[in-house]
Every structure is written in C-alpha cells, then in structure tokens.
A and B are shown apart, each in its own frame.
Chain A
Amino acid sequence: MIRAIAFTKRNIRRTPFQALAASMVMFLTFLVLQIFVILAAGSQTSLRYFESKPQVIAFFKDGISSQDISAIENALQQEGRVTNTKFVSKEDALQIYRERNKNDPMLLELVTASILPASLEISTQSPQDLAPVAEILKKEPVISDVIVPEDLVTTLTSVTRIIRTVGVATVGFLMVFATLVIIMIIGFKIRLKRTEIEIMRLLGASSSFVRTPFILEGLFYGLTGTALAWVISYGLLWYFTPFLQGYLGEVKLLPVNPLFMLALLGGSLALACFVGGLGSIAAVRRYLKI
C-alpha cells in the first residue's frame, strides 16, 4: 500500500493541472452539498423550535385592570388547549426591550414603559390549537392585537421542503457530474500511462498493483476537495455568525455546534470516498483491461 501511495503521489505531481481540476470539481460539489445541509439543518431546527413552542401573544389595550387579566386567564384555562399563560406587564416589556437593544443607546433613549403594551403569552398543547385560541382572544374587547406564529410555521415548513428538494436535486446532479469528471480524468491518465502500464505488466506487476494508484487518485481528489469545502463552509458560517444571530432571535442555532460540523465533515468525507472511488473504479474497469 505504501508503494501504491508513492505511485499515486507521483501520478498527481506529474499532472498537476488535471489534479487541480478534479479537486476543484469535487470542492464545488461538496461546498454546495454542505451549504444545503447546513441550510436544511438550520431551517429544520428553527421549525422544531417554533413547533415546540406553540404560542399566541395577545396585546392589551392601555388601562387594563388585573381583574380583566385574571378573567381572561381563567377563561383560557377552562379551554383545555392551553398549557400555560404568562402575563408580561409594560415594565416587563421595557425590560425585555432594553435587554434586546442594550447595544443601541439611541433606541433605548426613545422608549419608555408607557408606549409598550402589556401582553399575555399563551402556550398551547399543539400548533393546531393556536388558531382557535387566537379566535377566542380576538373577541375580547380589552385586547388590541393577537399574534399567531402559525403562518411562520407554515412558511418555515415549505422553506425547509424547498431547501431539501432543491438541495437533493442540485447535489444529485453535481454528484453525477463529479463522478463523470473523475472517470474522464482517471481514464485520460490511464491512456497517458499506457506504455508504463504495459511495461509494469511485463515486469510482473499484479492487477492490484497497477490499478490501486488510480483508485487512490480518485479518492484523493474526493477527499481533498471535500476537506477544503468543509473548511470554507465552516469559515463562512463562523464569519457570518454575529450577523445571522441578530436575525435568529431566540432560536438557538448559532454558533453552530462543532459536533454537527464534525459529523458533516465525516459524512462528506464518506460520500467523497464513494464518489471518488466509484469514478476511479469505473474508469479502471472501463479503460484498464489487464
């Protein structure tokens, strides 16, 4: 095997542009794959977050009394769909607002407790319970507005589905393309080394001795392209984490779990071995008749 690795290194070193082209194709394929996996995993996690916290928020008109709030809470508790209610006073709302905007003094200066509405956060058994509970709340005269995240869940579900479908189609196409490129490059190299192969055979080289370096070469292209793609995708994710965190709010997606990224690397490398190995084995079977 050491000898086969040495032969592989020699093959790669002596045709550097083909090696670069093959690695770049694998790099692009796996960069796209990893970006889609990260997007799909992110949207799936967000979806789960919103699904696990079915919540309706009802904003009260100014001047509401504690009796009114208790009456609404009691009415909701009798519904059976509601698991928990939490009253957020104007002062609490200001506290939350300050916490969220602590890095922006301009925003803090302009806002006081009086302009923020008090609210009631109502958690339900399941996302399907959100709409009926919201309907009950909308009928209450002391409530000015009701926010239902049902639309967000529906949107996220369809976004996740689209990411998965487009991702599978794109990555599938790129996988086939990468495999064909590997077949083409390894096939070309086999033709280029026809004399060397013939001489090695006459000197007593076994089939595996002749074939293994070409198969290792395909694996090398797959593994280097994938490792580079992983470094780039992790780097991009790391770079954009502060920017993205502002958009994600309470959804704990970032910074991304290193174990997830390691699993992504492992999975990508395994897939790269499959693509690189499949391409080179196909080329060897097609062009290297021993």
Chain B
Amino acid sequence: MIHFNSVSKKFGSSLALEDISLEIKQGEFVFIVGPSGAGKSTLLRILTRELLPTNGEILVGKVDITKIKDRDVPHFRRKVGIVFQDFKLLDDRTVFENVALTLEVQNKSDEEIQKMVEHTLKLVEIWGQRNLFPRQLSGGEAQRTAIARAVVGKPDIVLADEPTGDLDPKTAWGVIQLLNEINSWGTTILMATHNQEIVNTLKRRVIKLKAGKIVSDTKEGKYD
C-alpha cells in the first residue's frame, strides 16, 4: 500500500532522511521508533505531503504522491488521518465541531456529518463530552477527540505522531487500545513513538530510525 523508494530529505545541508526504502501493506500497524531527530516526524510529514522529499518516490496505492499536483493534495489528504502529540484541537469549537471539521472540508451534508460524527464519538467513547470545549477535556479525552477527528472520514491510513507523548501511562494505554481497534477495521496505522512499553507489549512491526536511516525493520519487533 505504501512504498518508499530511496527517499531522502535534506533541510539545507542537514540530512533528515537518507535513502529510505520500505513497504507497508494495507492493514498493518507499524511503529516508527528512534531517538529525537532520527527522522520519524519528517517521514510522517512527507507521507502527508506537508514536505516533499529531496530524492526518491513514495507510492500510496498506485499514486506517486511526490508527483501529484498541488490542487490534488487535499483529495490525497482525505485518505490520511493524522493524530498529533499536542492534539491540535481548535479551542473555539466543541468536541463535536472539531470532529465535524474533517467532514466539513470534504463537503459532506449536515445529515451525513451528524450521523458519522455521532457514530465515531460513540465509538471512541466521548459522546457524552460532545458539547465540551477542548479546555474542558482531560488529556485522554482530548486525544480521543483527535483520534475521532482523524478517523471520522474513514481514511485508509492513520498517522499518529507521538500520540501518547503527553499522556499518563493508563490514559496512553486507552489511546493505544483505541488505535488497535481502528487497525482491526483494516485501517493502516503508522505510529511514531518513544514509548518502549507500548511497542514491546503490542508486538507489531517496528521500524527503527537513527540519524535519518532505517537501522532495523522487524515484525513483532521490540524497542530497546
């Protein structure tokens, strides 16, 4: 589903990613691990087409996303859900409105939005908080809202950049279980993390980056 072929990314003279080649199949749950500055976030940002690689090609399905025109980028992004460490929720919108935003940008009808948002909020178990604003939520609730926003449009891929970074261990596990459940529907998940316990417990594919290079890629891997 996702193919990285000799992808490199330079920021000035600094090499953030170097000759990355990998393949991720549909429905896989992949951890991207590595120390800070290893290139995890850069890899995810290239996958959302926020950044263009300096070299190489990236196929998502049959489309090389490095070659798609700027006007087609929004359509591509609708296939990718993104979860951030700092949630990136809009403070002046309720939980419901934050999640609905994904569908609003896709020009869904109000009826569809109502139905899909309700379904997703119930799924991530924050329907009761639908009228609260982000400042009124706990960390776990905020991250569940962010996950709901990422998956409400039924994307093929979910990219999670350190989604448990700001959460306590118990809440973090709740979020991971939720992502695991989303993966069980067939959604491909790429999650950048530092959390050894989660990686080692879940026993999923682990791609380890160091200084912009893949140093290991193991199924049912570990993070030492």
Contacts and interface: CB of A to CB of B under 8 A. Distances in A.
B105 A205 contact: yes
Given A195-B90, A196-B90, A199-B88, A204 B75 contact: yes
A204 B106 contact: yes
A202 interface: yes
Interface string A199-218: 11111111101000000000
Interface string B96-118: 00000110111100000000000
Contact of B102 (A196, A203, A207, A209): A203
Contacts of A286: none
A209 B105 contact: yes
B101 A202 contact: no
B40 interface: no
B105 A204 contact: yes
Interface string A165-199: 00000000000000000000000000000011011
A14 B105 contact: no
A199 B101 CA distance: 9
B74 A206 contact: yes
A200 B101 contact: yes
B89 to A, nearest CB: 8
Given A3-B107, A207-B71, A202 B77 contact: yes
A284 to B, nearest CB: 16
Nearest to B77: A204
Given A3-B104, A209-B105, A204 B74 contact: yes
B143 interface: no
A289 to B, nearest CB: 11
A208 to B, nearest CB: 10
Contacts of B106: 204
A77 B123 CA distance: 101
Nearest to B89: A199
Contacts of A200: 101, 105
Contact of B88 (A14, A195, A207, A209): A195
A201 B75 CA distance: 11
Contact of A203 (B71, B92, B105, B107): B105
Given A3-B107, A14-B92, A195-B88, A203 B50 contact: no
A204 B92 contact: no
Contacts of B101: 199-200, 203
A201 B70 CA distance: 12
B82 A202 contact: yes
Interface string B70-95: 01001111100010000010101000
B48 interface: yes
Residue among A14, A205, A209 with the most chain B CB within 10 A? Answer: A205
A196 B201 CA distance: 36
Contacts of A14: 92
A61 B153 CA distance: 97
Interface in B17-63: 48, 50
A200 B98 CA distance: 10
Interface in A122-142: none
A196 to B, nearest CB: 6
A3 B77 CA distance: 20
Residue among A3, A201, A202, A206 with the most chain B CB within 10 A? Answer: A202
A202 B153 CA distance: 13
A204 B78 contact: yes
Contacts of B149: 203
A3 B76 CA distance: 21
Interface of A: 3, 14, 195-196, 198-207, 209
8 contacts: A3-B107, A200-B105, A202-B48, A203-B78, A203-B82, A204-B76, A206-B74, A207-B74
Interface of B: 48, 50, 71, 74-78, 82, 88, 90, 92, 101-102, 104-107, 149, 153
Q: Which 4 A-B pairs have the closest CB atoms?
A: A204-B78, A205-B105, A204-B77, A204-B74
Given A3-B107, A201-B74, A204-B77, 19 more contacts: A14-B92, A195-B88, A195-B90, A196-B90, A199-B90, A199-B101, A202-B48, A203-B82, A203-B149, A204-B76, A204-B78, A204-B106, A204-B153, A205-B74, A205-B105, A206-B74, A206-B105, A207-B74, A209-B105
